[in-house]
Structure 1
């Protein structure tokens, strides 16, 4: 993707995060978009669906992505893989959640930090993958499963997950847009 496209995606997603957050700022009650039908899914299955959002799953994934980038002599990509999720989660936790002040069970929930961390890693994976369509399809399925788990267990409203998706995407695409990339090496043959 070109820097302009990445910057446009980052801006659009940041604005979507802001707009959705303003609708539900200050702890407003859930809206019609927050109802997700997960009644038929048991607690064990819902807990399993949330696993990809957990740090003990995401941190090794980040390490593998960064390690692969370093092995391929792509240090800027390794840095993106490590810093993007860290920056996204830090901004979510210390800036956005207090700013929007949406609570559920006395916990700040907008945007979903679980979702921000998962989406940040997935967007990095899509940007760096050779088979982008397959990586994107994998990401969509994983995000749909995590959404069912997060909402079904009552951790988040659907709009929290949507806000987390927008913000995780905004951070990674924004950082990728401003990250210098070296040109591919020319063939000697």
Structure 2
């Protein structure tokens, strides 16, 4: 008896692929961070994309502002609460833990990287990587992992769902950040890759800690004398 009744948040069929994806994403984050360390101007690719996207007008500006709000403290908190509530209603406590731990780890990582890299945009605001993009991508990844496990999707279908969900969320928030002039395109890419690197690692840790806790609990239960074998003294 292992006592592991709760399903894992990182489906076993996806562990190798998502592990490789996380390693590659981490490498991209590091390379971009080195290339743009202490920079305060856009690169060649940044400038071209920025010129095409920045300065959108209504109604698209309203769409960009609404999307940006999802990465602000109030909007992000509302999304986290909604996601945790959904996980608990579906009886997926590990997924609920991953929502909080994953979002926190992702935002914390982007905050640390901003200080280390020191890239700035407009008035000296630290910009690499994009925390808004990282957060929404991370949340999409967690939801995709939950759906993959609940529907018991295979390796190919599960990996495709995870990547599509992360790409859709990252693209939406990334577009909003560039359109509003809050980040360079490479900041957005760095934020997206940060989520791809952090969430699989956090999911693996959540599963490991939960399994060890369940094993210890099951072991203590097995060692405890059963009530049926006890006799009251006469």
Same fold (TM over 0.5): yes
TM-score bracket, normalised by the shorter chain, equals 0.7 to 0.9
* RMSD (Å) for aligned C-alpha atoms: 2.3
Distance 2:165 2:138 in 1: 14
Which TM-score applies when normalising by structure 1?
A: 0.83
Q: 2:145 pairs with 116, 119, 127, which one?
A: 127
| Greater C-alpha radius of gyration | 2
Which TM-score applies when normalising by structure 2?
A: 0.69
Q: 2:30 pairs with 5, 15, 18, which one?
A: 18
User: Could you tell me how far 1:167 is from its partner in structure 2?
Assistant: 0.3
Map of 1:69 onto structure 2: 87
Where in structure 1 are there 5+ consecutive unaligned residues? 183-189
Distance 1:38 1:117 in 2: 21
Q: 1:164 pairs with 187, 191, 212, which one?
A: 191
Q: How do 1:1-189 and structure 2 match up within 5 A?
A: 1-27=13-39, 29-34=41-46, 35-36=48-49, 37-38=52-53, 41-42=56-57, 43-93=61-111, 95-105=112-122, 106-130=124-148, 137=164, 139-180=166-207
User: Could you tell me how far 1:156 is from its partner in structure 2?
Assistant: 0.2
Where in structure 2 are there 5+ consecutive unaligned residues? 1-12, 152-157, 212-234
Moved more, 163-172 or 45-54: 45-54
User: Could you tell me how far 1:168 is from its partner in structure 2?
Assistant: 1.2
Distance 1:16 1:30 in 2: 18
Distance 1:168 1:81 in 2: 12
